[in-house]
Amino acid sequence: MVAESRFSPHPRTHPRNSSNLRTNRSFCRPGTHRGNSSPKECRFTDIISIGIGGSALGPQFVTQALSPDLPPLQIHFIDNSDPTGIDRVLAQLGDKLATTLVLVISKSGGTPEPRNGMIEVKQAYTAQKLDFAKYAVAITGQDSNLDKVAKAENWLARFSMYDWVGGRTSEMSAVGLVPAALQGIDIRAMLDGAKEMDDATRVPNLKNNPAALLALAWYFSGNGKGEKDMVVLPYKDSLLLFSRYLQQLIMESLGKEKDLDGKTVFQGIAVYGNKGSTDQHAYVQQLREGVPNFFATLIEVLEDRQGTSVEVDPGVTSGDYLCGFLLGTRQALYENNRDSITVSIPQVNARTVGALIALYERAVGLYASLINVNAYHQPGVEAGKKAAAVILDLQKRVLEVLQTQKKALSISELADMSGAAEEVEAIYKILRHLHTNNRGVVLTGDFAKPGSLTVSLG
Ligand SMILES: O=P(O)(O)OC[C@H]1O[C@](O)(CO)[C@@H](O)[C@@H]1O
């Protein structure tokens, strides 16, 4: 899918993308089923996919939406720097690591979370006397740090990402297509659906352009200032992660302080939601009667299921109920002057999911043009990353000071000696974290009164 014509090359260059996939996929033939595969055909049973943000949300959404009930390879995600989360994935796999492929996905190849995940997973392979390089695949920008590591260590495969593909618009690149193909998902159909939508959303007549209609509806509803939140309610379990995927696509793209002229605009649209009808029993009460600060997007899937349905009442199926809940909620919102948009798809399949992704990618680009912001950078996230690096540096400095001390110090003494008198609270939190995790820092005193605490190395 081409996200935004200003940033993407001509479609003629796309075959390079698929040849990238074709030449690299020999490490494991997708679609080979576990039950009848010989070790030669595919020695893997599972995948660990390590990535965050745009390098995780698309693959997670597509897995939930499209992965077959018995996929050829079962995928597990590590999308955080949470040690417990990493442990859980590794514990679930146990001695199956020997047949587990690892995808390390990071456009920049320098994001700390996937780097940490990769190091921890590598360590787990080493502990089982497995050569990590024989299991590891990198999906990253050319010559990124990750690319260099993968090249130097001779990993199983490397897929390169084009610079013009943004992280949050990368689902139709190797980032999304490799994990999807390995799970037996029809990636050609995904690309076909995205292509169809790409064509449909290049139409200059706005009334016939679904992405333009969507962008204009967002603009109308929130006054072009994001005054209303976007509540996304797909009435289908398999689309549960769509709102989470859209959260990044929309909020990271549109949530900007400055417009393209450098004017302070504080733009954005807040996105949340899970699924209908489940959310009707959670927060739809507020949507109907509470603060009118949202518009709803209802995703309607026409096909209930493959095969026939039992009747839960005479002449009525569960699917009829779901359809009734969607239409009923829409009506109830309308009656109370709450806006809603309904997007209908015939069924959840690779083609419609590809089309949905392409639709929203294009709508975001068009809406960004309407409000005059750059949808394709994320300066705010960079600020958060820098601030986290400052905290880790402070931790280092504090530990260095403690190493020189024979007697326990108060936290404010330690802050002074570390040249960070203003950072007493941050230092308290760092120390408490190290203390809790038995990292050689001993805090003594009343934790409810940080001023009473003394600290030393244990
Ligand atoms: O793929 P990368 O470079 O690891 O980045 C992961 C995510 O981090 C961000 O750069 C900032 O959150 C996202 O835009 C991106 O999707």
Q: What is the mean pLDDT of the chain?
A: 92
> Ligand 1, residues 111, 144, 175, 254: which to mutate, most atoms within 8 A of Cβ?
111
* Residue in the block written with tokens 């967002």: 218
> Ligand 1, residues 160, 175, 253, 378: which to mutate, most atoms within 8 A of Cβ?
378
> Radius of gyration (Cα) for the chain, nearest Å?
25
Whether residue 30 has its Cβ less than 6 Å from ligand 1: no
pTM score, whole prediction: 0.92
pLDDT tier at 116, thresholds 50, 70, 90: very high
**Alpha carbon nearest to ligand 1 atom 13, residue:** 53
Of 150, 154, 137, nearest in space to 73 by CA: 137
Q: Which residues contact 118 (CB under 8 A, 6 or more apart)?
A: 50, 102, 104, 136, 146
Whether residue 115 has its Cβ less than 6 Å from ligand 1: no
Tens of pLDDT, residue by residue over 153-192, are 999 999 999 999 999 999 999 999 999 999 999 999 999 9
User: Which residues in 205-229 are b (16+ Cβ under 10 Å) and which e?
Assistant: eeeebbbbbbbbbbbebbebebebb
**Do 266 and 257 contact (CB within 8 A), yes or no?**
yes
**Token pair of 124 as six digits:** 């787990």
Q: Which pLDDT value is given to residue 12?
A: 42
Whether residue 302 has its Cβ less than 6 Å from ligand 1: no
3-class secondary-structure state, position 258:
strand
**Alpha carbon nearest to ligand 1 atom 2, residue:** 106
pLDDT tier at 24, thresholds 50, 70, 90: low
281 is catalytic: yes
- CA of 145 relative to ligand 1 center, distance in Å: 14
Whether residue 195 has its Cβ less than 6 Å from ligand 1: no
The interface pTM score, or ipTM, of the predicted complex is 0.98
**Token pair of 221 as six digits:** 């509803």
> Ligand 1, residues 107, 146, 376: which to mutate, most atoms within 8 A of Cβ?
107
User: Which among 40, 281, 406, 407 is annotated as catalytic?
Assistant: 281
Whether residue 255 has its Cβ less than 6 Å from ligand 1: no
Q: Distance of CA 31 to CAs 6, 111, 182, 306, 393, Å?
A: 36, 31, 7, 21, 47
**Token pair of 376 as six digits:** 């394709």
Considering only 12-16, 44-48, 78-82, 432-436, which range has the smallest mean pLDDT? 12-16
120 is catalytic: no
pLDDT tier at 9, thresholds 50, 70, 90: very low
Q: Mean pLDDT across the stretch 65-94?
A: 98
3-class secondary-structure state, position 313:
strand
User: Which among 263, 385, 429, 433 is annotated as catalytic?
Assistant: 385
What is the Cα–Cα distance from 177 to 18, expressed in whole angstroms? 10
The H-or-E segment that residue 234 falls in is: strand 229-234
Check residue 419 and give left, alpha or beta (phi > 0: left; psi -120 to 50: alpha): left
Whether residue 55 has its Cβ less than 6 Å from ligand 1: yes
Q: Which pLDDT value is given to residue 7?
A: 31
